[in-house]
């Protein structure tokens, strides 16, 4: 045959006759590319959308300026922890910590996400679908049992009696509610 350093000529591709020709005024001009006189604002200079163009605009959005990706924070809250506190349950959002009756409780990430959504909406029913979409993402019908397992684990961590919940309550055929404490 030949040694490894010798390149064998390749037969022409059947698509080579159909391939668009790149080049400007002459075949001898390397790296030349047809350009639009007035390209759109999102189109890089030197790129054409013409019939022979290899550039195809994608469905992706044009990147936003860096500053618009961040939420502004009220200057009065800078340096302070964001905390959700309902009764004796305290969820520290920035520290990713749960305190129940002043005692720190270990909380895995999914349980943190679920508890945060329930506490953010305390006193209101949060549907199973809303909880699943928030914790696992949309179009995940296969995680319904996972949600029930995480709710059960949350109840064992924050309820006095997990078999008779007073904080995270199931609302039949609707979802779950984080009940506000009763004023006795």
Rounded to an integer, what distance in angstroms lies between the CA atom of residue 42 and that of residue 114? 40
Tokens encoding 48:
């054409």
Strand (E) or helix (H) holding 103: strand 103-105
Per-residue pLDDT of 47-89, as tens digits, reads: 445 555 454 555 555 555 554 455 555 656 556 668 889 999 9
Q: Is the separation of the CB atoms in 117 and 163 below 8 Å?
A: no
Most confident listed range (10-14, 36-40, 124-128): 124-128
**Claim: this prediction has a pTM higher than 0.75:** no
- Domain range 80-178, its CATH number among 1.20.1440.230, 3.30.360.10, 3.10.620.30, 1.10.10.10: 1.10.10.10
At residue 32, does pLDDT exceed 80? no
């Amino acid at each position: 045959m030949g040694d490894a350093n010798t390149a064998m000529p390749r037969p022409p591709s059947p698509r080579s006759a159909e391939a668009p020709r790149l080049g400007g005024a002459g075949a001898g001009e390397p790296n030349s590319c047809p350009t639009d006189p007035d390209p759109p604002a999102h189109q890089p200079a030197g790129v054409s959308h013409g019939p022979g163009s290899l550039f195809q605009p994608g469905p992706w959005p044009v990147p936003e300026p860096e500053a618009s990706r961040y939420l502004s924070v009220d200057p009065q809250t800078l340096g302070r922890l964001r905390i959700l506190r309902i009764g004796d349950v305290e969820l520290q959002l920035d520290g990713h910590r749960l305190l129940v009756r002043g005692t720190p409780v270990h909380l895995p990430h999914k349980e943190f996400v679920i508890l945060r959504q329930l506490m953010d909406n305390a006193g209101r029913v949060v549907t199973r679908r809303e909880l699943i979409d928030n914790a696992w993402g949309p179009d995940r019908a296969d995680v319904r049992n996972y949600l029930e397992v995480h709710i059960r684990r949350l109840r064992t961590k924050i309820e006095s009696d997990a078999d008779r919940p007073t904080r995270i309550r199931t609302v039949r055929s609707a979802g779950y509610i984080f009940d506000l404490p009763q004023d006795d």
